[in-house]
Amino acid sequence: MIARHDEIRASVQALCRDFPGSYWRDRDRAREYPTAFVKALTDSGMLAALIPEEYGGAGLPLSAAAAILEEIHGSGANGAACHAQMYTMGTILRHGSDAQKQRYLPGIASGALRLQAFGVTEPDAGSDTSAIRTTAERRGDIYVVNGQKVWTSRAEYSDLMLLLARTSPKDENAKKTDGLSVFVLDMRDAKGLSIRPLRAMLNHATTEVFFDNVEIPAENRIGAEGKGFRYILDGMNAERILIAAECIGDARWFVDTAAAYAKSRRVFGRPIGQNQGVQFPIAKAYAAMRSAELMVHEAIRRYEAGEPCGAEANMAKMLAADASWQAGEACLQTHGGFGFAEEYDVERKFRETRLYQVAPISTNLVLSYIAEHVLGLPRSF
Ligand SMILES: Cc1cc2nc3c(=O)[nH]c(=O)nc-3n(C[C@H](O)[C@H](O)[C@H](O)COP(=O)(O)OP(=O)(O)OC[C@H]3O[C@@H](n4cnc5c(N)ncnc54)[C@H](O)[C@@H]3O)c2cc1C
């Protein structure tokens, strides 16, 4: 059984009480970054939960980070403004040199350095990461980067970006996933870098990033040249599990909000929740949430035990995203017309949780992973 971290959950709930629905509605309407919330979370040390104590973090297991993100989402808030930092730093931790760890991790742990941006997706390369075309060309002791990223969330609110770029042409490598390298790009003094906000369905501070001869010191490359895709993949189980925990939090918020409304809203002289037609979708969503939660716990258990957990992490992410979407649908329907009114927060959470059917990995790609890697079905791409 994984640890529940009840004390941590209580601290997150207390912190989130200072950021009620009105706070998130205002940010959402203005498409503003939730700076005060991210600062409070950073000051509390929770964003540094996974950073080892020797680098100034809390040195907690993945289950603690999952508990933090679940509670943030369960309170009606949104951790997407800063969740990436919890797992992107893992690439430095696992594959960086001692010097890189000393240089970045203490600053990230204290909040002095923000590593919120993760530049992988490009206009012509989303699900197929191996198709990325942004190049990093080695010239002496620097790399020169040219190309474009899209959907690079939080780039305007980050000091550093974890960047995946091509260091050798795709057709020169025996494996299509070779030839990509990972860099820590310090965006604060990067010449030739431009960031353009990308207005989206939800308030996600996402952007397009353009690289025009951007120079990165060679010492900022993480690990071996050409092996970057493997390092990114390595961090994906943690990412999938943490996103799944956020979905469980969303599902909980939708179920609780729907049940509370169903008890109080009276139509035809009785609470709408007295009608089984209203009860059952909420009850079904609750059951789906609880079963997805079991898979999240199993993925965490395997991750923490150092066992392979690719299948479980993927299934946890898919099942939890489906459960939160199902709960969102039940919650919106329970609210009738008021589900569409901003002041109930249902429509905002509905938009926010919809993202997880597509990002960071779409449902079809999870299914294809299970089909190929678990069931041994023929590879389709
Ligand atoms: C709000 C938001 C924030 C994001 N933040 C980041 C970020 O910070 N950093 C980052 O790098 N990326 C980010 N992304 C990008 C995200 O990871 C991609 O959108 C996602 O990986 C899907 O890629 P795509 O959009 O190019 O879709 P595509 O790859 O074009 O796929 C389109 C559709 O086709 C389906 N499809 C494609 N191939 C197959 C197949 N072989 N079989 C079956 N179905 C298939 C997919 O499932 C999908 O539904 C973000 C996206 C959004 C919307």
State the Cα angle at 10 between 4 and 14, rounded to 5°.
155
Predicted confidence at residue 117, as pLDDT, reads 97
DSSP H or E run through 5: none
Q: Measured in angstroms, how far is the CA atom of residue 114 from the centroid of ligand 1? A: 25
Q: What is the mean pLDDT of residues 365-373?
A: 98
Of 333, 335, 343, nearest to 263 by C-alpha is 335
Query: Tokens 């919890």, residue?
Result: 86
Out of 118, 127, 381, give the residue to mutate to test ligand 1, the one with the largest number of ligand atoms within 8 Å of its CB. 127
Q: Which residues contact 201 (CB under 8 A, 6 or more apart)?
A: 351, 354, 355
Out of 356, 358, 361, 380, give the residue to mutate to test ligand 1, the one with the largest number of ligand atoms within 8 Å of its CB. 358
Give bridge partners of residue 136 from the DSSP assignment.
145
Question: pLDDT tens-digit profile of 193-230?
Answer: 999 999 999 999 999 999 999 999 999 999 999 999 99
Predicted confidence at residue 141, as pLDDT, reads 98
Q: Measured in angstroms, how far is the CA atom of residue 23 from the centroid of ligand 1? A: 29
Question: pLDDT tens-digit profile of 110-128?
Answer: 999 999 999 999 999 999 9
Q: What is the mean pLDDT of residues 167-192?
A: 94
Q: What is the mean pLDDT of residues 318-331?
A: 98
Q: Which atom of ligand 1 is nearest to the CA of 381?
A: 41
Q: Measured in angstroms, how far is the CA atom of residue 276 from the centroid of ligand 1? A: 38
Predicted confidence at residue 280, as pLDDT, reads 98
d(CA 333, CA 20): 23
Q: Is the pLDDT of residue 346 over 90?
A: yes
Q: Which atom of ligand 1 is nearest to the CA of 204?
A: 1
Q: Which atom of ligand 1 is nearest to the CA of 127?
A: 29
Pocket of ligand 1 (CB under 6 A): 118-121, 126-127, 151-153, 200, 204, 206, 355, 358-362, 364-365, 368, 380-381
Question: pLDDT tens-digit profile of 71-102?
Answer: 999 999 999 998 998 999 999 999 999 999 99
Q: What is the mean pLDDT of residues 224-248?
A: 96
d(CA 136, CA 100): 19
Q: How confident is the model at residue 1 (pLDDT cuts 50, 70, 90)?
A: low
Q: What is the mean pLDDT of residues 19-46?
A: 97
Half-sphere exposure of 130 (CA within 13 A, CB side): 13
Q: Which atom of ligand 1 is nearest to the CA of 117?
A: 8
Predicted confidence at residue 174, as pLDDT, reads 86
DSSP code for 262 = H
Share of the chain above pLDDT 90, in %: 95
Q: How confident is the model at residue 164 (pLDDT cuts 50, 70, 90)?
A: very high
d(CA 258, CA 349): 12
**Token pair in block for residue 213:** 């001869």
Predicted confidence at residue 3, as pLDDT, reads 86
Mean pLDDT of the chain: 97
Which residue CA neighbors atom 45 of ligand 1 most closely?
364
Q: Model-level pTM?
A: 0.97
Share of the chain above pLDDT 70, in %: 100
d(CA 47, CA 134): 30
Question: pLDDT tens-digit profile of 151-160?
Answer: 999 999 999 9
Predicted confidence at residue 70, as pLDDT, reads 98
Predicted confidence at residue 176, as pLDDT, reads 86
Out of 85, 118, 120, 151, give the residue to mutate to test ligand 1, the one with the largest number of ligand atoms within 8 Å of its CB. 151
For 287-317, give one letter per residue: b (16+ CB within 10 A) or e: ebbeebbebbbbbbbbbeeeeebbbbbbbbb
Q: Measured in angstroms, how far is the CA atom of residue 104 from the centroid of ligand 1? A: 29
Q: Is the pLDDT of residue 342 over 90?
A: yes
